[in-house]
Amino acid sequence: MESVEQKRNIISTLWNDKEKRAVIIQIFSIAGLFALVWFMIGNAISNLDALGKGFSFDFLFQPASYDINQHLISYTSRDTHLRATIIGIMNTAMIAVAGIILATVVGFTLGVLRLSKNFLINRIVYIYIEYIRNVPVLLHILLVHGVVVHSLPNPKAAMTFNDSFFLTKRGFFMPSPDFESAMTVVWIALAIGIAFTFWFRRYAKRVQDETGKIFPVFLISFGAVVIFPVLVYFLAGSPITWEIPVLKGFNFKGGMVVRPEFLALWLALSLYTAAFIAEIVRAGIIAVSHGQTEAAYALGLRPGRTTQLIVIPQALRVIVPPLTSQYLNLTKNSSLAIAIGYMDIVATIGGISLNQTGREMECMIIVLALYLIFSLSISSVMNWYNKRIKLVER
């Protein structure tokens, strides 16, 4: 009886302690969550066994037997589902990176113009933002794709630039580089230039903090990253040859090609997300105290320099957190690419591969895991940047 009473007293003591009670509740919650996940996985595997399917990822090494029109690395229909998945990952990453860059540039520009004192500019930007934000993104994708496909000429009447670049409704054809062995020296020179730039920027900042001396950081960095590798490139004998696209039959052969599906998806997602970014930028600029602007004007700074040096750096602390959400939305909205035939993750492993193999569970697990990795990667980068620009309190 005494031992039972002692155990009750110990349990009562642990439960009445606020911190220990919180730890106990978290332990039981995590254990319950793992138990639920384990039950769901076991139940799914049992059901698949009952259907005679089992649970395996062996299908990834079987021939895919379908074509992909846009790929950065070599691919044929005889390659495996795994290689098709890699192509889908690269296509999704390409549209996400390109879309984020364009959406950021357009969004920041529109956000600043939205606050313009010019009535015409202000109203035009306002109408654009309200129209874009209140129409579903899928309709924008279909509209832009239709405009791109129907407004561009056929290959025989292609728009040409210097007889090397050709724009048609079947894609934007351009020369493709063929790197020779000496190009390795140029890549090494570029890596050295980038490493030197990072070191020199820190060194220049330390010297400026200690002595007040200011180095021409931009010019020296430009020389290290651009001019130095270019000089090495010419000294190495220009180790790049170019394959020019040539019209053969009804289409161009050779070179690189950017498909109209990519152009349409890139423009639609970028312009759609830019409308939301513009409102975030506008809110961040308004959040900066007007006294900061007045103080800058009193020091003789022009409005453009005031916005660049005073307003935007302070507004970024308000802009970056919601901006992260828009980057995530753009990446996840790229899953709508299947509507216009752009082969991303959903169209490859989550679409054709799933239908051919009948491995619904495995394919969906891969798709969900890949989008989770994309989202966590973007969030990590943005959180790191947010920490760099936050206010440092004493």
- Domain-located, residue 369: yes
Quote the percentage of the chain above a pLDDT of 70: 96
Same domain flag for 276 and 319: yes
- Domain-located, residue 177: no
Among 96, 141, 165, smallest CA distance to 260 is for 141
In the Cβ-directed half-sphere of 189, how many Cα atoms lie within 13 Å?
A: 19
Same domain flag for 143 and 265: yes
pLDDT at 152 > cutoff 90? no
Same domain flag for 137 and 270: yes
Residue 4: what pLDDT? 65
Among 333, 241, 261, smallest CA distance to 71 is for 261
- Domain-located, residue 97: yes
| Of residues 381 and 46, more confidently modeled | 381
- Burial of 125: CB neighbours in 10 Å, binned 0-12, 13-18, 19+: buried
pLDDT at 133 > cutoff 70? yes
Q: How far apart are CA 67 and CA 132, in angstroms?
A: 34
Same domain flag for 29 and 141: no
| Of residues 15 and 302, more confidently modeled | 302
- Domain-located, residue 298: yes
Q: Residues 67, 70, 75, 80: is their CA dihedral positive or negative?
A: negative
Same domain flag for 265 and 138: yes
Structure tokens at 345: 């993750």
| Dihedral-angle region of residue 178 (phi above 0 means left; psi in -120 to 50 means alpha; beta otherwise) | beta
Which residues are CB-neighbours of 176 under 8 A, at least 6 positions away? 242, 243, 254, 255, 256
> What is the count of structural domains for the chain?
2
Same domain flag for 44 and 100: no
Among 316, 260, 256, 336, smallest CA distance to 96 is for 336
Same domain flag for 131 and 14: no
- Domain-located, residue 218: no
Pairing of strands 176-179, 240-243: antiparallel
Cβ–Cβ < 8 Å for 103, 329: no
CATH number for the domain spanning 280: value is 1.10.3720.10
Q: Give 81's pLDDT tier (boundaries 50, 70, 90).
A: very high
- Domain-located, residue 16: yes
Residue 5: what pLDDT? 67
- Domain-located, residue 73: no
Residue 346 is given by DSSP the state T
Same domain flag for 367 and 302: yes
Same domain flag for 14 and 147: no
Question: In this structure, what are the phi and psi dihedrals at residue 64, rounded to the nearest 5 degrees?
Answer: -75, -40
Same domain flag for 20 and 110: no
Q: How far apart are CA 300 and CA 141, in angstroms?
A: 46
Range of the domain at 26: 2-50
Rounded to the nearest 10°, the torsion over CA 294, 295, 301, 302 is: -10
Q: Give 55's pLDDT tier (boundaries 50, 70, 90).
A: confident
Secondary structure in 3-state letters for 250-311: CEEECCEEECHHHHHHHHHHHHHHHHHHHHHHHHHHHHCCHHHHHHHHHCCCCHHHHHHHHH
3-state secondary structure (DSSP) of residue 115? coil
- Domain-located, residue 272: yes
Quote the percentage of the chain above a pLDDT of 90: 36
Same domain flag for 108 and 25: no
